[in-house]
Chain A
Amino acid sequence: MTPESQEFLATFVSESYYYWASVFMLLIHVGFLAYEGGASRAKNVLATMVKNLLTLSIVGLTFFFFGWWVYNAFPLFPLTGGVVGPWTDPASEGVAGEVLGLVQASYPWSPALGPNVADNLTGVFFFAFALFAMTTASILSGAVIERIKVGAYAILAIVLGSFTWVVAAAWGWNPYGWFLTNFGYHDFGCSAVLHGVAGFFALGVLINLGPRIGKFDAQGKPRTILPHNLPLTMVGLMLIFVGFYAFLAACVIFVPGQTAEITIYGTPMTLASIGVNTTMALCAGIVGAYIGSKADPFYTISGGLAGIISVGAGLDLYSPAVVILIAFIGAYTMPFVGAAVEKAGIDDAVGAFAVHGYCGVIGAMAVGVMATGYPQGDGIPLTGFIGQLVGTVVCTIILGFIPGYGVSFVLKKLGMLRVSREEEIAGLDLAEYGLEGYPEYPIRPEVNGAPIPAATRSVPQPSVSM
């Protein structure tokens, strides 16, 4: 084997690794599709799944148009530099010059993203990040099912999936990001950077969106709206678990020329330990949620995700025993947070805030407690509680809750946020698509919260095939 072919083999290994990791990450979306479709009522299953499907297109395209550039252009802004773009001096040196090289490869018109034998890796990293972005938006989609307008969801998904979480990643999941360089922030598995942002964004949206009709009685007491297909929901979450292994594997950085695997922060790690720790977090999370929820099936299966997110930020730093403890605590307390949100009059259909928002905060802050003082390289502050707190607050409040609340508030004022009462009662499948997800079976909206008003009786009914 010639030196040239050996060099290309190293490139091909990296290219293939991220390519297949990203392909398996698509299972997260298969899982979200099944999870949310099963969690919805039968009259909304089609609309829920189509909305989930559209997430891929909405976020995939906008991430290509500007999201990938945002990730590369924002790491220095506002503390250590400005937003890097076509206006930046091409002769910039130092960190700005290094960032500029990456930015120039991230424009949608960049030759690096097309077939280019001189660059095999930029495109595959774009692929992985695009899947990250879609995942982030999918977290929102589950929380708002059964009453949001598709257009409103599309706008919110763009803001979350292709901008706010990308800014969070630029600041907190980037070797040049000021979270790291100024505060020593460490978030290997994107606990706050991705899950915290998405969970708090969803919370802000839910406040303006309001609960589903029938979710609360006249006294404001919550009522259970059961999933129409809990087995499908459970299978969906199992697929999400598989996708999460790929997601976390894609967080490992290995490119030609390296002699060891590293994190995005340049710290040493091993892929094998990610396998062990993810598995322990999954197991402990399910156990924790089982006990915490008193064996509620919906919370129990979500506990696996809660466990992984609760240790995600320090997954590369902890021993398996510590992982079990943190994952258990995060998942055990998660159902109580879900119940508190419901008690506050917020209808989070799939517990997105409890699983992603709350556990994202737990995950990021756990590093400040259980991995405090860990070095991250020359000139980089040690990990610590304050550094983690700064990053977590910025991610969850400034880039999560405020944008979610603000954009949904504007949409609400414009009457663009929520479907009409009649459409919601009739079911979004009929209202939006004129079809039923289960045409062979009669669907009785009156058992799902309210009697059918006269206005909805004019909705055309599809023929029933026997």
Chain B
Amino acid sequence: MSSPFSTLEEFNGVLDGPTEGAIYTFADAPIFNNIALLASVGIFIWFIAKTYSDHTHPLPMDNTLNKLSTFIVVSLLSLVAFSQERPQRFEQQGLGTPPENIVHSSRRAAPLGAPLGLLGMMGVGMQTAGSAVFRKSRKRKKARSLRHRPKR
């Protein structure tokens, strides 16, 4: 029984009699209300903890941006690789200094590609940039296309 009154007379005494004091349930059994209080504090701590974990899930990544970023990063890497490999190849083949037009094309691409590459690295392109096979094949194709680029 949750009533704090032991008799009906004691209850009636609240309104027109000698009964005084707390009239809430379990007032005569403070242990119950103390347990409820501890549980309330526990709930509050749980709530504070949940405020750090309950967030709306981030929006799914835009696949279009993903592909574009991948393309930009791979393009930049291919340009960097081309600019570094090209002198070695010419030296190995005994051709001396590479033709001016090819060097010129890679020099023009660098200032444009650098900020775009940074943009791609900041984006979600990094997810697919780890694919070595993909990167390798695209790099070869890109280098080949630049080598056969017509003069302007």
Contacts and interface: CB of A to CB of B under 8 A. Distances in A.
A30 interface: no
B43 A382 contact: no
Given A260-B15, A373-B1, A375-B8, A287 B47 contact: yes
Nearest to B34: A321
Contact of B2 (A273, A324, A373): A373
Interface stretch (B24-32, B90-98, B109-117): B24-32
Interface in B45-60: 46-47, 50-51, 54-56
B24 A317 contact: yes
Contacts of B56: 295
Contact of B24 (A259, A290, A295, A318): A318
B11 A319 contact: no
Nearest to A287: B47
B103 interface: no
A374 B2 contact: yes
A324 B36 contact: yes
Contacts of A295: 50-51, 54-56
Nearest to B4: A374
A325 B40 contact: yes
A319 B4 CA distance: 12
A314 B55 CA distance: 34
B54 A373 contact: no
Contacts of B106: none
B14 A317 contact: no
B40 A318 contact: no
A268 interface: yes
Given A325-B39, A373-B1, A319 B24 contact: yes
Contacts of B101: none
B37 interface: yes
A377 B33 contact: no
B3 interface: yes
**What is the interface of chain B mostly: helix, strand, loop, or mixed?**
helix
Interface string A341-384: 00000000000000000000000000000111111011000100
B15 A319 contact: no
Contact of B26 (A273, A322, A324, A375): A322
A263 to B, nearest CB: 11
Contact of B43 (A268, A324, A370): A324
B134 interface: no
Nearest to A283: B44
A371 B56 CA distance: 39
A322 B25 contact: yes
Contacts of B46: 291
B62 interface: no
Interface residues of B, number: 31
Interface in A251-271: 259-260, 262, 268-269
A268 B14 contact: yes
Contacts of B12: 377-378
A319 B27 contact: yes
Interface in A265-295: 268-269, 273, 284, 287-288, 290-291, 294-295
B70 to A, nearest CB: 32
A328 interface: yes
Interface centre among A273, A314, A318, A375 (most CB of B within 10 A): A375
Nearest to B55: A295
A372 B2 contact: yes
A199 to B, nearest CB: 25
Contacts of A259: 15-16
Contact of B25 (A287, A294, A318): A318
A277 B47 CA distance: 20
Nearest to A373: B1
B54 A321 contact: no
Contacts of B50: 290-291, 295
Contacts of A273: 24
B71 interface: no
A317 B36 CA distance: 15
B75 to A, nearest CB: 37
B23 A325 contact: no
A291 B54 CA distance: 8
Contacts of A269: 23
Contacts of A374: 2-3, 25
A108 to B, nearest CB: 34
B2 A371 contact: yes
Nearest to B7: A375
Nearest to A372: B2
Interface in B74-128: none
Contact of B44 (A262, A287, A317, A378): A287
A330 to B, nearest CB: 13
Given A268-B23, A317-B24, A294 B1 contact: no
A382 B3 contact: yes
A320 to B, nearest CB: 8
Given A317-B25, A322-B25, A268 B15 contact: yes
13 contacts: A259-B15, A269-B23, A287-B43, A317-B24, A318-B24, A319-B22, A319-B27, A321-B33, A322-B24, A325-B43, A370-B2, A373-B1, A374-B3
5 closest pairs, A vs B, by CB?
A373-B1, A321-B36, A295-B54, A321-B37, A324-B40
Interface of B: 1-3, 5, 8, 11-12, 14-16, 22-27, 33-34, 36-37, 39-40, 43-44, 46-47, 50-51, 54-56
Given A290-B47, A291-B50, 9 more contacts: A262-B15, A268-B14, A269-B23, A291-B54, A319-B33, A325-B40, A371-B2, A377-B11, A377-B12
